[in-house]
């Protein structure tokens, strides 16, 4: 069951976080939303992670714009959500993500993941902050941050028919980051994991979920010494 908690970033900004506690946690996962905000899909995903053994934290990143912003799965919703993300400076987004990381660290090792534009910020967060693992679910703008390299074990997931991130861009990312596993899903378009969106593919979604859980269990069960932590802000 999810609850909504409040956290405070280093600049004093208070924001909401949807949280689900795992009774016997392997570690914790921060979930960064797509351009639609904390939708029912993200709330359910928090519970799903908790059931699988990961305490979950989904920050309401749009609280920097306006509290409780959630957009519909429509062209107008996509446009408005994209504009909301673009209006928040990178350093502010990273402050909110880092506040979540500090809270999540109470439950053990911490992973970051994200969907669509949230996947982009998971990639950026994994390169700028101190995480133990990262999973990028069809990150929409990773190509714009291709020069960054994650500081933790990371894997990526894309559909090979993604209209937002065409396969040639996916291949550019894979070629640049050969050490980052990138799973491709045949015949899948953007947001194929979300049952509330039109390109949902149940078989591929289950495969991606199981791959991600196996990866996170493996990585979060490890411990790192301070000497292994390499942070590049």
In tens, the pLDDT along 137-168 reads: 999 999 999 999 999 999 999 999 999 999 99
Q: What is the pLDDT at residue 231?
A: 35
Which stretches of 93-228 are assigned E, i.e. beta strand? Answer: 110-115, 133-137, 154-159, 182-185
- The tokens describing 211, both together, are 């791959």
* pLDDT for the residue numbered 223: 59
Task: State the average pLDDT for the chain.
Answer: 95
Dist. CA 125–CA 111, nearest whole Å:
10
CA atoms within 13 A on the CB side of 167: 10
Pair of tokens at residue 32: 């960064």
- Do 231 and 151 touch, CB atoms closer than 8 A? yes
Written as six digits, the tokens of 74 are 């429509």
Distance in angstroms (rounded) separating the CA atoms of residues 46 and 56: 5
**Domains detected in the chain:** 2-222 (3.40.50.1820)
Q: How many CB atoms lie within 10 A of CB 82?
A: 18
Tokens of residue 93, six digits: 């987004």
Question: According to the model, what pLDDT value does residue 22 have?
Answer: 95
Segment 32-56, tens digit of pLDDT: 999 999 999 999 999 999 999 999 9
For 170-206, the pLDDT digits (tens) are 999 999 999 999 999 999 999 999 999 999 999 999 9
> Cα–chain-centroid distance for residue 13?
21
What is the pLDDT at residue 228? 43
Q: Which residues contact 113 (CB under 8 A, 6 or more apart)?
A: 29, 30, 31, 32, 119, 122, 134, 135, 136, 137, 212
Total-model pTM: 0.94
pLDDT for 128 = 98
């Amino acid at each position: 069951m999810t609850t909504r908690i409040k956290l405070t970033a280093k600049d004093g900004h208070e924001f909401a976080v949807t949280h689900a506690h795992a009774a016997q946690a392997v570690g914790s996962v921060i979930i960064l939303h797509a351009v639609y905000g904390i939708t029912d899909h993200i709330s359910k995903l928090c519970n799903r992670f908790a059931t699988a053994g990961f305490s979950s934290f989904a920050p309401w990143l749009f609280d920097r714009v306006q509290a409780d912003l959630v957009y519909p799965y429509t062209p107008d919703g996509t446009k408005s959500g994209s504009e909301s993300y673009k209006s928040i400076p990178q350093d502010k987004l990273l402050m909110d993500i880092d506040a979540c990381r500090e809270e999540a660290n109470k439950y053990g090792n911490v992973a970051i993941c994200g969907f669509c534009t949230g996947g982009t910020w998971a990639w950026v967060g994994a390169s700028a902050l101190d995480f133990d693992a990262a999973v990028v679910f069809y990150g929409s703008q990773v190509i714009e941050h291709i020069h960054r390299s994650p500081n933790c074990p990371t894997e990526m997931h894309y559909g090979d028919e993604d209209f937002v991130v065409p396969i040639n861009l996916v291949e550019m990312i894979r070629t640049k980051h050969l050490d980052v596993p990138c799973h491709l899903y045949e015949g899948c378009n953007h947001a194929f994991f979300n049952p509330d969106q039109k390109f949902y593919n149940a078989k591929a979604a289950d495969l991606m979920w199981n791959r991600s859980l196996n990866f996170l269990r493996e990585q979060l069960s490890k411990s790192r010494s301070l000497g292994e932590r390499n942070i590049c802000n």
